[in-house]
Amino acid sequence: MAEEKYKTLEVVEKNPKSGVFHLYLNRPRQRNALTYDFFTEFPKALYALDHNRDVNVIVLSGAGDHFCSGIDISQLKSITQSYHDAGESLRRQILAMQDSVTALERCRKPVIASIHGACIGGAIDIVTACDLRYCTEDAFFSVKEVDLALAADLGTLQRLPLIVGYGNAMELALTARRFSGSEAKQLGLVSRAFPSKDDLDQAVSVLAQEIAAKSPLAIMGTKTVLLKSRDLTVDQGLDFVATMNSARLLSSDLTEAVAAQLQKRKPVFSKL
């Protein structure tokens, strides 16, 4: 099957058979600003990668000098003109854009955000929906929406407090101030910040391949449980994972993992 071509994205498999695929925001001349086309293509690309049995891990990054500068201002202007005095139509458009970002969480495969340069506005919506986040020390972030007379509405205000804490999220969202990759690490927004993009790329590649080598069924289950547990009590979360594992403990991956341990070899897991 021919790989689908996108206007705003590019899919690359740098190391065949590694299980790691790279998804690039691909409008470098526009600093990867987000357009209508992006919000249409992004969930389609994630769905295709999720259902590709050769994909175990997805690395999301930006082509060119920046990760993403947020929503394209010309698109924002078009939205306000197109939906003037049409509140319900605009609400449906916002919900559709929210759903495009939430596609990151629906994707069963883990998504790693690899961030350099600008990560502004709508880009924060995107990276907070990713499973892991890494950046360069000189990357810069801003929850920019209040400077455009808006409240962030694609997920930042819901997900960021769970990552950096309520007080930090409130301060960043109300001030729209710029903060560095180093501060993002201090806040817990990213797991690590690296001195250069080369260092970032190398570290993310190693991490992605390490995850990709593990049981896809176990990785998918772990992501599912962690996301589901956000909305459950501890007891409910324990019941959920017990129900899920009661079926998966009978999987061939468990048998293979045990055999590989006993035989001191690398396991070979089933594809999903």
Tens of pLDDT, residues 208-255: 999 999 999 999 999 999 999 999 999 999 999 999 988 777 778 777
Instruction: Identify whether the C-beta of residue 101 lies closer than 8 Å to the C-beta of residue 125.
Output: yes
Determine what percent of the chain is predicted with pLDDT higher than 70: 95
> For residue 79, is pLDDT > 70?
no
DSSP lists the bridge partners of residue 126 as none
> For residue 75, is pLDDT > 80?
no
Q: What is the mean pLDDT of residues 48-55?
A: 97
Q: Characterize the bridge pairing of strands 20-25 and 57-62.
A: parallel
> For residue 92, is pLDDT > 80?
yes
> For residue 161, is pLDDT > 90?
yes
Angle (CA) 121 127 133, round 5°: 135
| Residue 268 or 202, more confident | 202
> For residue 154, is pLDDT > 50?
yes
> For residue 269, is pLDDT > 80?
yes
Kindly report the average pLDDT of the chain as a whole number.
93
| Residue 83 or 97, more confident | 97
| pLDDT at res. 73 | 86
Rg (CA), the chain: 19
**CA-to-CA dists, residue 202 to 17, 33, 35, 126, angstroms:** 18, 25, 30, 22
Residue whose pair of structure tokens reads 């994205």 in the numeric block: 9
A 10 A CB-CB count for 79 gives 16
> For residue 207, is pLDDT > 70?
yes
| pLDDT at res. 83 | 55
DSSP lists the bridge partners of residue 114 as 134
| pLDDT at res. 3 | 65
Residue closest to 179 by CA, chosen among 126, 133, 138 = 138
**CA 47 centroid distance within chain:** 13
Residue closest to 112 by CA, chosen among 49, 176, 48 = 49
Sign of the C-alpha dihedral computed for residues 154, 157, 160 and 162 taken in this order: negative
Q: How confident is the model at residue 195 (pLDDT cuts 50, 70, 90)?
A: very high
Please tell me the CATH code under which domain 9-213 is placed: 3.90.226.10
Cα–Cα distance for residue pair 180/14, rounded to 1 Å: 29
> For residue 204, is pLDDT > 80?
yes
Residue whose pair of structure tokens reads 């772990």 in the numeric block: 222
Q: Characterize the bridge pairing of strands 140-142 and 132-136.
A: unpaired
| pLDDT at res. 1 | 42
Q: Per this entry, what is the length of the chain?
A: 272
Q: How confident is the model at residue 259 (pLDDT cuts 50, 70, 90)?
A: confident
Q: What is the mean pLDDT of residues 138-160?
A: 96
| Residue 217 or 82, more confident | 217
| pLDDT at res. 268 | 82
Question: Global pTM?
Answer: 0.93
Q: How confident is the model at residue 81 (pLDDT cuts 50, 70, 90)?
A: low
Catalytic site residues? Answer: 71, 122, 125, 145, 153
Instruction: Identify whether the C-beta of residue 215 lies closer than 8 Å to the C-beta of residue 196.
Output: no
* CB crowding 24-52: b at 16 or more within 10 Å, else e: bbbbeebbbbbbbebbebbbebbebbbeb
Domain boundaries of the chain, sorted by first residue: 9-213, 216-263
